[in-house]
Amino acid sequence: MAFMRMIQFQAWKGDPMPGDSREVDRLKRIRDKQLRARDPLTKQRKLDHTIATKQRRARTTFSFGKMWQEIPHKWRGLFIGGLIGVGGLLIVPEVIPESWGMCLGLAALPFGALLGFVIGRCEDAKQDVSDLIP
């Protein structure tokens, strides 16, 4: 009698392996996902990839030209405009005598830097728009 109850309980509990192939596939996917989540080699592979990328980057030679190209246009424009302003600061007082020359020379530095910054900002905006257009 106890044996019959045990059989009935097993039948009521359900089959341990479902017969539906979709359900079996779903259970396999869940099991694989859980195993991948606990896989310690995943973190190790990611760390190895990061180290290899950093080593590859470190092996490349340093180039001022490449560094200059990576700087945004607005900062490059600010630097170039500042250099032009310094040139104006040195040349204008020699050309125009008296205190007007010194005043114009002093105004040339921030004006050149600001103008270079604005032109660089326009170049960055133009590049951003061209990146958006497919």
Give the integer Cα–Cα distance in Å for 25 and 31. 10
The pLDDT value recorded for residue 37 is 78
Q: How far apart are CA 60 and CA 24, in angstroms?
A: 51
For 79-99, write each residue's pLDDT tens digit. 999 999 999 888 888 888 888
Pair 127, 73: CB distance under 8 Å: yes
pLDDT in tens, 66-77: 888 888 989 999
pLDDT at residue 29 above 90?
Answer: yes
pLDDT tier at 44 (50, 70, 90 boundaries)? Answer: confident
- At 12 the pLDDT is 47
Q: H-type helices in 14-97, by residue range?
A: 21-37, 40-59, 64-70, 73-95
Could you give the CA distance from residue 65 to residue 57 in angstroms, rounded to a whole number? 16
Q: What average pLDDT is seen over the chain?
A: 82
